């Protein structure tokens, strides 16, 4: 490892591009808008924002059904490949045994509502963008996720929701479920109505990735090479979830640790 070599290892796909942009490395036009000096024009920094879009299907439980908030609250229920998809295992459902109203809708965290299924879309086609809102490093950057812009994503999300609804109507749940809270029958009545529900309620899976993606120098949107080295700069690497070209079909923590360890090995060996 060269003595002067530096590594960006921060809060992943938000922190790394934010640090790069504040340091003058990124899309020149965006840097100039904020009055930042352009150290290196690198268009891909902050682009290709990937995530696992998630949707909730919630059921009111019957009177007297025990709500244990201390049991394993979320567990994997089902993984499968969407109809007509060539992306294996691109849909997931988690079962949530103790559901509360969402805090972003004014709910209380520990006020029981019922049970919930969490539908997760893997390998979404739609990609978003991270941009600075200020030159102050403590200011939150803008995250434009652009969920479900791609028709394939919308089709798969509809399949997710309808599968959750169908499972909730199975006789196995008859002694537990009193009624479905969301989506409503009206929101399930047509593809357009369901698309509107998904566009309104889709939320982050907390697996943001891809904002400094890995790729060859011939790719104008690639930020690092296969060794994590930043294109066009010497002695600078990135080693976190931001360099994933796409969001993996799993939680990102173990893969991110592997990225850090692998790039550390490259640095030790001079690769």
Please list the pLDDT of the chain residue by residue as tens digits (271 residues). Answer: 344 566 655 556 788 999 999 999 999 999 999 999 999 999 999 999 999 999 999 999 998 888 776 667 888 899 999 999 999 999 999 998 888 887 777 766 667 789 999 999 999 999 999 999 999 999 999 999 999 999 999 999 999 999 999 999 999 999 999 999 999 999 999 999 999 999 999 999 999 999 999 999 999 999 999 999 999 999 999 999 999 999 999 989 999 999 999 999 999 988 7
Q: Which residues contact 169 (CB under 8 A, 6 or more apart)?
A: none
The CATH number that applies at residue 230 is 3.50.50.60
Examine the fold and report which residue of 153, 185, 201 is the final residue of a domain before the chain moves on.
201
Task: Count other Cβ atoms within 10 Å, centred on residue 172.
Answer: 10
Q: Mind spelling out the 3-state secondary structure of 39-72? A: CEECCCCCEEEECCCEEEEEEEECCCCCCCCCCC
Are residues 141 and 127 located together in one domain of the fold? yes
Query: Quick one: pLDDT at residue 69?
Result: 62
Are residues 28 and 113 located together in one domain of the fold? no
Phi and psi, residue 163, nearest 5° = -65, -45
Query: Quick one: pLDDT at residue 1?
Result: 39
Q: Which of 237, 271, 242 is nearest to 256 (CA)?
A: 242
Q: Which of 203, 205, 270 is nearest to 237 (CA)?
A: 270
Residue 1 lies in a domain: no
Are residues 139 and 118 located together in one domain of the fold? yes
Are residues 117 and 151 located together in one domain of the fold? yes
Domain range for 178: 54-201
**Cis-peptide into 183, omega within 30 deg:** yes
Are residues 41 and 58 located together in one domain of the fold? no
User: DSSP states of 199-247 as a string?
Assistant: HHH-B--S--B-TT-B--TT-TT--B-TTSBBTT-SSEEE-SGGG-SS-
The CATH number that applies at residue 88 is 3.30.560.10
Residue 40 lies in a domain: yes
In the set 52, 65, 207, 227, the catalytic residue is 207
Examine the fold and report which residue of 158, 185, 201 is the final residue of a domain before the chain moves on.
201
Residue 257 lies in a domain: yes
Are residues 164 and 249 located together in one domain of the fold? no
* Number of folded domains that form the chain: 2
Query: Quick one: pLDDT at residue 68?
Result: 72
Residue 153 lies in a domain: yes
| Catalytic residue list contains 207 | yes
Residue 262 lies in a domain: yes
Are residues 215 and 237 located together in one domain of the fold? yes
């Amino acid at each position: 490892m060269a003595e002067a070599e530096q590594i960006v290892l921060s809060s992943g796909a938000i922190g790394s591009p934010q640090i790069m942009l504040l340091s003058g490395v990124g899309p020149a036009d965006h840097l100039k808008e904020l009055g930042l000096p352009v150290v290196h024009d690198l268009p891909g920094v902050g682009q290709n924002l990937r995530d696992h879009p998630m949707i909730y299907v919630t059921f009111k439980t019957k009177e007297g059904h025990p709500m244990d908030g201390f049991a394993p609250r979320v567990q994997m229920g089902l993984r499968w490949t969407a109809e007509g998809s060539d992306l294996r295992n691109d849909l997931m459902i988690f079962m949530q045994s103790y559901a509360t109203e969402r805090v972003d809708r004014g709910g209380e965290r520990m006020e029981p509502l019922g049970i919930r299924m969490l539908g997760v879309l893997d390998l979404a086609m739609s990609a978003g963008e991270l941009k600075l809102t200020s030159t102050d490093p403590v200011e939150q950057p803008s995250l434009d996720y652009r969920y479900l812009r791609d028709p394939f994503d919308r089709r798969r999300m509809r399949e997710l929701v309808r599968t959750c609804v169908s499972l909730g109507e199975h006789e196995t749940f008859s002694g537990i479920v009193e009624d479905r809270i969301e989506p409503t029958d009206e929101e399930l009545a047509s593809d357009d109505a369901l698309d509107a529900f998904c566009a309104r309620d889709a939320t982050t899976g907390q697996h943001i990735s891809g904002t400094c993606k890995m790729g060859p120098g011939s790719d104008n949107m690639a930020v690092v090479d296969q060794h994590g080295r930043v294109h066009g700069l010497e002695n600078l690497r990135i080693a976190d979830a931001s360099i994933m070209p796409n969001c993996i079909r799993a939680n990102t923590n173990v893969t991110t640790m592997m990225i850090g360890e692998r790039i550390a090995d490259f640095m030790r060996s001079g690769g």
